[in-house]
Amino acid sequence: MSSLPHAQISARLVDWHAQHQRLLPWREARAGHRDPYAVWVSEIMLQQTRVETVIDYFNHWMTRFPDVEALAAADLQTVLKAWEGLGYYARARNLHKAAQQIVTHHGGQLPADRSALLALPGIGEYTVGAILSIAFNQPEPILDGNVKRVLARLFDIDQPINEPATLRKLWEMARSVVESAPTGMAGDCNEGLMELGATVCTPQNPRCLICPLLDVCAAARIGKQAERPILPRRKQTPHYDVAAGVIWAGEPFRSKLLLAQRPSDGMLGGLWEFPGGKLEPHDADLPACLRREIAEELAIEIEVHDLLTTIRHAYTHFRITLHTFHARHIAGEPQTLGCQAWRWVEMTELSAFPLPVTDQKIAAALNEARLSLQLPSQ
């Protein structure tokens, strides 16, 4: 365990952060004195997403939805379109839903109260700590991946990082550190912890020689910093073959095509896609899979034609190879059996719909194919 009192650790973090923090668009004011809405949006965007990716999304978002009222008043499809490409779309849906609740129950202002914040959709213990400390300067702890790593090394935690007992211990340590911060510096202390993990105490090749806490890091003292934190054994990632269809109402590229909206409460909820589904053992081949999926999802009959493109994509817990075929509608009126909505659209309308990354690639392949055939856009 580190022998340095938590108050001294906190003071060092605050001093180091003042000199080394990165200039980022959500840091226009000093930590502890920021717009709660901007803190909330940035922290939700930064969950499982790299800072470099978030910057442009954050700037666009704050221009499009400058405050809670603007977000609450927006149509969900507009919100999802602004989020398009960031992934984990439940984050956007929860931001929208929470904004509406904040307008209804809190006068359009994020509450500076733990229980009130936790009652909002998509806000958990980490986000509460970030909002309360970075926006309101309350000494509330945070525990994201960066902070877990810093604390596991600083205090040489030799147990798997995500075990319940270890997490409880880490939360206690995080609380002790922020509660020991200099008066009025809770936000700086927490942000310093996160920044240290992001830029110095990195997962691979930590830059220990420039760390402000090197002399009191228990893991570094015994040469174990590369072995901390102890991570759970990674499970083998399953792979699935998936068939999707660009279903034309008539002649390809000269008629409308069919989009389906995913159910709002599931993965990629509310986004639009070229419909299809996973290859099952009883499917004779990918075209048979596509015909079955379209019948089950939309209650229509299709004729499957040539392969348009094959896309490989990795999600958090599984990987897919997406085989996309041209297809033609033969019979039946589409129904919402396995989707939330459907729509016949022109190719030129695709950019107006919020699409998952894979379907954006299908749209790009479609446009490329149209250009190669020297067909005019409709």
Give Cα separations from 376 to 49, 352, 367, 368, 372 (angstroms).
38, 19, 10, 12, 11
**Interatomic CA distance for residues 297 and 341, integer angstroms:** 10
Active-site residues, by number, are 43
**Interatomic CA distance for residues 79 and 128, integer angstroms:** 22
Q: What is the DSSP letter of 323?
A: E
Q: With contact defined as beta carbons under 8 Å apart, do 283 and 365 qualify?
A: no
DSSP codes of every residue in 165-188: HHHHHHHHHHHHHHHTSPTT-HHH
**Interatomic CA distance for residues 80 and 63, integer angstroms:** 15
Phi, psi of 249 (to 5 degrees): -70, -30
Give Cα separations from 248 to 266, 336, 358, 363, 368 (angstroms).
26, 18, 19, 14, 17
What region does 57 belong to: left with phi over 0, alpha with psi -120 to 50, or beta? Answer: alpha
Q: What is the DSSP letter of 214?
A: G
Residue 371, Cβ density class (10 Å: 0-12 exposed, 13-18 middle, ≥19 buried): exposed
Q: With contact defined as beta carbons under 8 Å apart, do 233 and 311 qualify?
A: no
Sign of CA dihedral 328, 333, 336, 337: negative
